[in-house]
Chains A and B, each alone.
Chain A
Amino acid sequence: MNTLKAILLMSIWTSILGAALYFFDAHAHYRNILWATVIGLTLLITHMVNMFIYFKVAGDKPYKWFDK
């Protein structure tokens, strides 16, 4: 259940960042190296925050071999 909750939160966070990039017309400017760097950094931070969300929300449970 916590894993599903984590994946849902990760999806929402990714969608928000995706929408923000679209809103700022990132898809029209990616060939500009400055834009590409900012977009790349935004995507990397999105990925790292996604990992962090998973660590905190899913917790230890997915790694336990048996239900205690």
Chain B
Amino acid sequence: MKFYVNARYLIVPFMSLIAIAGILIGGSFAWVGVALFGLNTIIDTLTKNIHLPADFDETGESYGIKGFQYAVMFLMLPVFIVLQLVLAYRIFQYTSLTPIETAAFLGVSYEVGTSGFNLIGATLSSGLWAGLGIIYGHELSHNKKEGFLVSRLIMALSGASHFTYAHVYNHHLDLGHEDDAATAPRGRNIYAHAWLSHMGQSRFSYNLEEQRLSKRGSSALNFDNRWILGYLYSLPSIVLFVWAGGLVGVAALFTVWVVANFLLEALNFMGHYGLIRTEGPVEHRHSWDNDSVFTSWFFIEIGRQCDHHVRGETYFWELDDVEGPNYGIGYFSLFVLTLIPPLFRVYVQKHLDNWDEKYASRDEKVIAAQFS
């Protein structure tokens, strides 16, 4: 049981390595990361009706092994660094006009050089898996020790180091309110949300630091400013891609950041779209759960938002179904719907109506009515 509970959360590490291998092998294998994303969407849709509770032994102890799960999360930092390195390697070959030919290493044939088309595949694969890897940045942001720094570094690979502070000190405290940029109000589409949420969280992080430094009598323009420091953590990535490919490298890194941050904001969008909190503590009803089996295992239980937002420092493998609002489908399936805003609005309306009727407080209903 212990093995099963811990091994089931290794889907992303395993698939990230496959995506890296695909870029290294080259040719059409550069698209493997994109293909895996499509495959996951199919699996998620097919298993949407399977919902499993968290697993505990007869004494109520979780089967999760903290040391193992943390080791995996910490190890994802070098994995994501390697993901950027292999993409930079392909960009270097492309901009150096390396001839495309087949070679072999330890019996495995791979393509030297790359076409523009396959470079696009490698870039999209990197962006998608860097974005999916943000789940580790999220989980570690709730760690008060060295995990917090690892979270900042993982997020910095996608130019979003500000997320770590904004997530804990803004999103978790101001959830369901217009003060939380990561909560999407009714009527907002995912594209507008991605922009507003990303900028809003960075803005929160900047203001937090400006106020903190101001109390100390220091200027915001200071290397003690953790907003500035967070962006500086991204500098090695930028230098690497500039060096590897000049303008092509910058365009590729820009694409990786846009795709990765879009996925991050899609998770925020799906987790809280349209939900409202007026006052008092965050309760289960202020989040949407997405706990179909594949979503749970793939996203290391990030879909158990209802429990997570009430018990923010609980390890992901201990989060459970709390019978909160639930879309009934997994993140991959729902993500596809969000990409077509009119379709998403039709789908979500019945869930919002249900929330208004069964979960909302009187004051929350008043605000909900203003949206319609």
List residues of A whose CB falls within 8 A of some B CB. Answer: 26-27, 30-31, 33, 36-37, 39-41, 43-44, 47-48, 51-52, 54-55, 58, 62-66
A51-B178 contact given A30-B243, A36-B239, A62-B196, CB 8 Å threshold: no
Contact B238 A30 (CB under 8 A): no
Contact B181 A44 (CB under 8 A): no
Q: Could you say which residues of chain A place their CB within 8 Å of the CB of B250?
A: 43
- Residues B193-218 near A (CB distance < 8 A): 196, 199-200, 202-203, 206-207
* Pick from B185, B200, B235, B371: contact of A40, CB under 8 Å: B235
Q: Could you say which residues of chain A place their CB within 8 Å of the CB of B247?
A: 27
B232 within 8 A of A: yes
Contact B199 A54 (CB under 8 A): yes
B246 within 8 A of A: yes
Describe A's contact surface by its main secondary structure.
helix
Per the bound structure, the CA–CA distance linking A43 and B82 in Å amounts to 22
Per the bound structure, the CA–CA distance linking A48 and B238 in Å amounts to 13
Contact B199 A27 (CB under 8 A): no
B149 within 8 A of A: no
Per the bound structure, the CA–CA distance linking A39 and B249 in Å amounts to 12
A65-B238 contact given A54-B199, A55-B206, CB 8 Å threshold: no
Contact B196 A43 (CB under 8 A): no
Q: Could you say which residues of chain A place their CB within 8 Å of the CB of B228?
A: 48
A-B contact pairs, 13 of them (CB 8 A): A27-B247, A31-B243, A39-B242, A40-B239, A47-B159, A48-B228, A48-B231, A51-B203, A55-B202, A63-B178, A63-B179, A63-B196, A65-B371
* Pick from B185, B231, B234, B243: contact of A36, CB under 8 Å: B243
Most A-side CB within 10 Å, residue of B200, B228, B242: B242
- Nearest neighbor of B159 in chain A, beta-carbon distance: A47
- Residues B54-75 near A (CB distance < 8 A): none
B370 within 8 A of A: yes
Q: Could you say which residues of chain A place their CB within 8 Å of the CB of B231?
A: 44, 47-48
Contact A27 B246 (CB under 8 A): yes
* Pick from A27, A33, A43, A54: contact of B238, CB under 8 Å: A43
Contact B246 A30 (CB under 8 A): yes
What's the least CB distance linking B101 to chain A, in Å? 23
Q: Could you say which residues of chain B place their CB within 8 Å of the CB of A66?
A: 370
Contact B243 A33 (CB under 8 A): yes
